[in-house]
Amino acid sequence: METTKYFDLSDDSTEKLVERFNNDTKSKGWVAMRGHYIHAIFEEFEKRKINVEVVRKLENGYLCTNMNHKVKLVNNKLELL
């Protein structure tokens, strides 16, 4: 599913995308729309070739995203704060 039909974040700066991610780490609830939103953030990170492995990786065949920690951008790579 292409999430850009829900959220077009292509005009956001990379710093704004990091801010969006960090703002969402406060949320503990989960609904489908939140999943679409987070997926759209990571689609933009991928398009911009931002290394996100500190919060998103493939584990046992599943793509896992860790939303427990805020991040910062350092040399095109997300690092935990």
Which tokens is 29 given?
């609830």
* pLDDT tens digits, one per residue of 12-43: 999 999 999 999 999 888 898 998 999 999 99
pTM of the model: 0.88
Contact in structure between 56 and 65 (CB atoms under 8 Å): yes
Q: Which domain holds residue 41?
A: 3-80
Q: How far apart are CA 47 and CA 12, in angstroms?
A: 12
Number of domains in the chain: 1
Q: How far apart are CA 28 and CA 13, in angstroms?
A: 26
Contact in structure between 47 and 12 (CB atoms under 8 Å): no
Contact in structure between 37 and 13 (CB atoms under 8 Å): no
**The pLDDT of residue 3 is above 50:** no
Average pLDDT score, the chain: 92
Which tokens is 39 given?
């997926």
For the segment 66-71, the average pLDDT, to the nearest whole number, is: 95
